[in-house]
Chains A and B, each alone.
Chain A
Amino acid sequence: MSSEATAGAHAGDHGDGHGDGHGHHGPKWLAHHFDTPAQQFDAAKLGMWVFLAQELLFFSGLFVAYGVYRSWYPEMFKAASHQLDKIMGGTNTIVLLFSSFTAAMAVRSSQLGKQKETGRYLLVTILCAFGFLVIKYFEYQHKFEAGLLPSRYFHPHMDHLVAGSAPLPANTGTFFGIYFMMTGVHGVHVIVGIGVLIWIYLRNQRGDFSKEFFTPVDIAALYWHLVDLVWIYLFPLLYLV
């Protein structure tokens, strides 16, 4: 009985407040099927977190494959990881960490309604993302030249290997199969992130966001943090074994 009473009270509130949900009943950014801005924000946030959980599980398959092969061929992993460029990887880690920071600052300034500042932070984030890809490009190029490719195409050229490196054991191609899959899938996420951030940047310049409505900036930054987070795991696992 008590729950019915509560529901009745709730019903009263609803009647007084926003009974009309069908027409145009709020700010223009409030979608037709939501009753309140808070409901819209909460739904978006929850949806994004659930999506991010999905992303983690998507990467988890790669991490499991990594774990399995690392436990089977520890020497091979050790030798192969020396062929990766720690300087470039480290630089990329810093670039991504910094871009995550600027993404967070973009959310902050958007919450405060500082449109110009938001735009600048978003721009820096996008530039960092491009910077990441450029560095990645040089890394990949070196691997291609050295013949350090997935198993079927794995033909290392001794003169291109890192000086003083130990001879590469059998199955080293598997390491590079995993390397290219992990960094490749992550790279696709970076590219998607660039697209999302550019879209958010354009919307910000158009004046879509305000102190009251900054959900898309928030959501996009969450995604970007995930991209950063995955790299923070990839870097030590692949480069610093």
Chain B
Amino acid sequence: MAAITTTPGAHHDAEDPNASFLEKKGLMSWLVTLDHKRIGIMYLISVMIAFALGGIFALLVRAELLTQGKTLMDADTYNKMFSLHGVVMVFLFIIPSIPAAMGNIILPIQLGAKDVAFPRLNLLSLYIYWFGACFGLYSMINGGVDTGWTFYTPYSSSDPALGGVGSSTSVIPMTLAAFIMGFSSILTGVNFIATVHKMRAPGLTWRRLTLFTWALYSTSIIQVLATPVLAITLLLLTMERFLGLGIFDPRLGGDPVLFQHFFWFYSHPAVYIMIVPGMGVVSDIIATFSRREPVGYMAIAASSLGLALLGFLVWGHHLFVAGMSEYATMVFSALTFLVAIPSGVKVFNWVATLYKGSISLQSPMLWALSFIFLFTIGGLTGLFLGMLAVDVHLHDTYFVVAHFHYVMVGGTVMGFVGGLHYWWPKFTGKMYDEAPAKAGWFFVFVGFNITFIAQFIMGSRGMPRRYYDYLPEYEIFHQISTVGSWVLGFGFVIILYVLVKSLMSGKPAPRNPWGSAALEFQTPTPPPTFNFVKDPVLTRGQYDYQLATEDELYEGFDDPLFPGIRGGKPAAKPAAAAEGEKE
């Protein structure tokens, strides 16, 4: 039998328990569902709408900067555009994207569980996310915010209507939006931690978890420990603006830098909420498309936890020029360099996995490889910024903008879109067209690099971030960057087309289109409501291509329906190994 054995079980449910989770129709069946996959898909749709919205804001910002002076909008509108781009992308897209959307769909299946530990809580966190998004939309309709996504005090906390000199935009609803969405993030984290600890299938030891699961587990720890600090910070900011507490507003005796400490105590770990799940996706994709167990499996898993831990110790590097003591800056600088260790461990292990792997360059793999490429650039430029003296020059320039886009877009978006392609057949039951999907990847990859390499250069030459206007010598870089953003945007339009076309007229997907050994590809496509027809019992790891049987690996491979997919025999003869697993 298969290495992942199953136990027989009778089903007493009135409905066919083996029907696909997409079977039930009607809006209400979605809105009140407790099925993690359906909740995940609702999350997926929500975050993709947010991504489109944030992307449009980004294109508008870049279009405004195409020429010197006023190109498209006035300075106030421009300030709102880049603020909304940041707020929408960070709070509505990046943070919930991989954990809440893909994690919800895939994590319980990879654990061999029927659902997450607290299905009702899961639905609640989706509703809280929507509720928060409503506040955000209200703020946008109500004029938006011009504080940047960081809501720095005293600009955000001081209300001109009450005699202050700060922002007169609708800061309170936007802050509350982020506050509320924080709860959604926390509840998802609590749910995932309990799920990973308590819901694993028999035989699924910690060493047999997928690296995606490890990454989500690490992320959940950060979500639970960091997000409440942001929550209380934003609550304090709201109250400062509303009641004049005197904590952040210097006119009332407060300290605006304290806000930055609080804010970055969350927001630096939040960078790892953004990047670590992407790393998990990439680890899974690279293993599958190299047909190899990841080299240094435990090192990759441990480095996820390491990043989660170190993320809490480095927030001070955002305040190098904000007036900390020089000893504090030195300590934070040194701690910041430590982040390079787990990051490097991951990158070297991925590359080592590729070495002598049986690589097939399907579109998910292209996204994963570009993740490594972009993340490496993003990570190395982070060292420039962690270095005290260099940071004084580069602080708040476009260099920083390019750096965090390489990490966050190069990390989260590559991971997200790669994972979307990788698991798309599994949770929609439809294949997509490989050739246009690759074209979409090409435009995104090229457009992204054009956009942000130009920003690295102008940043290193002193172009400050957030500015509405600039000196003539920067114009050429802004123009290159803006043209790059159009290429980038065009790439995403192609991807949207590919995915929509797949939903409309895609060929039905096989159980295991990529020949993966992981658990989620051993269940029918799309999975039944309880994920498995029979409760799985694991007798091998989820990357164990040596022990995986032909049955597990090759359905869908060499299928006449999918001529584009690479066939061939497995590297090791699995049959003999599987023989020993027979019960």
- The interface-forming segment of A140-148, A167-175, A220-228 is A167-175
Contact A14–B202 (Cβ < 8 Å): yes
Contact A50–B193 (Cβ < 8 Å): yes
Closest to A32 in B: B114
Closest to A31 in B: B119
Whole-angstrom distance between the Cβ of A225 and the nearest chain B Cβ:
18
Whole-angstrom distance between the Cβ of B107 and the nearest chain A Cβ:
13
A32, B252: Cα distance in complex, Å = 55
Contact A54–B254 (Cβ < 8 Å): no
Whole-angstrom distance between the Cβ of A238 and the nearest chain B Cβ:
15
Q: Known: A21-B114, A151-B252. Is A59-B232 also a contact (CB below 8 A)?
A: yes
Q: Known: A20-B9, A57-B225, A59-B232. Is A174-B118 also a contact (CB below 8 A)?
A: no
Q: Which residues of A contact B197 (CB under 8 A)?
A: 42-43, 46
Q: Which residues of A contact B12 (CB under 8 A)?
A: 22-24
Contact B113–A14 (Cβ < 8 Å): no
Interface residues of A in 153-210 (CB under 8 A from B): 153-154, 170-171, 173-174, 177-178, 180-181, 185
Contact B245–A21 (Cβ < 8 Å): no
A7, B204: Cα distance in complex, Å = 8
Q: Does B564 reach chain A (CB closer than 8 Å)?
A: no
Interface residues of B in 178-201 (CB under 8 A from A): 186, 189-191, 193-195, 197-199
Q: Known: A4-B540, A14-B537. Is A50-B190 also a contact (CB below 8 A)?
A: yes
Whole-angstrom distance between the Cβ of A50 and the nearest chain B Cβ:
5
The contact of B119 among A19, A33, A181, by CB within 8 Å, is A33
- The interface-forming segment of B123-131, B235-243, B514-522 is B235-243
Q: Does A230 reach chain B (CB closer than 8 Å)?
A: no
Contact B246–A151 (Cβ < 8 Å): yes
| Interface contact tally, CB-CB below 8 A | 192
Contact B253–A170 (Cβ < 8 Å): yes
A21, B535: Cα distance in complex, Å = 7
Q: Does B258 reach chain A (CB closer than 8 Å)?
A: yes
Q: Does A91 reach chain B (CB closer than 8 Å)?
A: no
The contact of A150 among B113, B199, B243, B538, by CB within 8 Å, is B243
A145, B9: Cα distance in complex, Å = 69
Interface size on B, residues (CB 8 A): 65
Q: Which residues of B contact A43 (CB under 8 A)?
A: 117-118, 194-195, 197-199
Q: Which residues of B contact A185 (CB under 8 A)?
A: 232, 235
Give per-residue flags for B50-61: 1 if the beta carbon is below 8 A from chain A beta carbons, else 0: 000000000000
Whole-angstrom distance between the Cβ of B243 and the nearest chain A Cβ:
5
Range of interface residues on chain A?
A: 35 or more
Contact B247–A65 (Cβ < 8 Å): yes
Q: Which residues of B contact A55 (CB under 8 A)?
A: 228
Whole-angstrom distance between the Cβ of B296 and the nearest chain A Cβ:
19
Whole-angstrom distance between the Cβ of A202 and the nearest chain B Cβ:
18
Contact A174–B245 (Cβ < 8 Å): yes
Q: Which residues of B contact A150 (CB under 8 A)?
A: 239, 243-246
Contact B537–A10 (Cβ < 8 Å): yes
A51, B185: Cα distance in complex, Å = 12
Closest to B164 in A: A152
Give per-residue flags for A1-27: 1 if the beta carbon is below 8 A from chain B beta carbons, else 0: 001100110110111000111111000
Q: Does A58 reach chain B (CB closer than 8 Å)?
A: yes
Q: Which residues of B contact A46 (CB under 8 A)?
A: 193-194, 197-198
Q: Known: A20-B9, A60-B229, A178-B247. Is A13-B253 also a contact (CB below 8 A)?
A: no
Q: Known: A33-B113, A33-B114, A181-B245. Is A54-B186 also a contact (CB below 8 A)?
A: yes
Q: Which residues of A contact B538 (CB under 8 A)?
A: 7
Contact A22–B114 (Cβ < 8 Å): yes
Q: Which residues of B contact A53 (CB under 8 A)?
A: 224-225
A42, B198: Cα distance in complex, Å = 7
Q: Does B472 reach chain A (CB closer than 8 Å)?
A: no
Contact A58–B537 (Cβ < 8 Å): no
Q: Does A229 reach chain B (CB closer than 8 Å)?
A: no
The contact of B239 among A39, A51, A64, A181, by CB within 8 Å, is A181
Q: Which residues of A contact B142 (CB under 8 A)?
A: none
Q: Which residues of B contact A61 (CB under 8 A)?
A: 228-229, 232-233, 236, 262
Q: Does B205 reach chain A (CB closer than 8 Å)?
A: yes
Q: Which residues of A contact B534 (CB under 8 A)?
A: 19
Q: Does A68 reach chain B (CB closer than 8 Å)?
A: yes
Closest to A76 in B: B253
Q: Does A236 reach chain B (CB closer than 8 Å)?
A: no
Contact A177–B537 (Cβ < 8 Å): no
Give per-residue flags for A87-116: 1 if the beta carbon is below 8 A from chain B beta carbons, else 0: 000000000000000000000000000000
Q: Does B284 reach chain A (CB closer than 8 Å)?
A: no
Q: Does A30 reach chain B (CB closer than 8 Å)?
A: no
Q: Which residues of A contact B258 (CB under 8 A)?
A: 65, 68
Q: Which residues of B contact A152 (CB under 8 A)?
A: 162, 243-244, 246, 252
The contact of B252 among A39, A44, A173, by CB within 8 Å, is A173
Q: Does B539 reach chain A (CB closer than 8 Å)?
A: yes
- Provide a sorted-by-A list of 26 A–B residue pairs whose CB atoms are within 8 angstroms: A3-B205, A8-B539, A10-B537, A11-B537, A15-B8, A20-B9, A22-B11, A24-B12, A32-B115, A33-B114, A33-B119, A43-B198, A43-B199, A47-B117, A50-B190, A50-B224, A51-B190, A54-B224, A54-B228, A58-B229, A61-B229, A151-B249, A152-B252, A173-B253, A178-B245, A178-B247
Q: For the A-B complex with A33-B113, A46-B197, A177-B252 known, give 9 more contacts whose Cβ atoms are closer than 8 Å.
A: A3-B205, A3-B207, A44-B118, A53-B225, A57-B228, A65-B247, A150-B244, A152-B243, A178-B245
Residues of chain A touching chain B, judged by Cβ–Cβ distance below 8 Å, are 3-4, 7-8, 10-11, 13-15, 19-24, 31-33, 35, 39, 42-44, 46-47, 50-51, 53-55, 57-62, 64-65, 68-69, 149-154, 170-171, 173-174, 177-178, 180-181, 185
The 6 closest A-B pairs by CB, nearest first: A152-B244, A151-B246, A177-B245, A23-B12, A61-B232, A7-B203
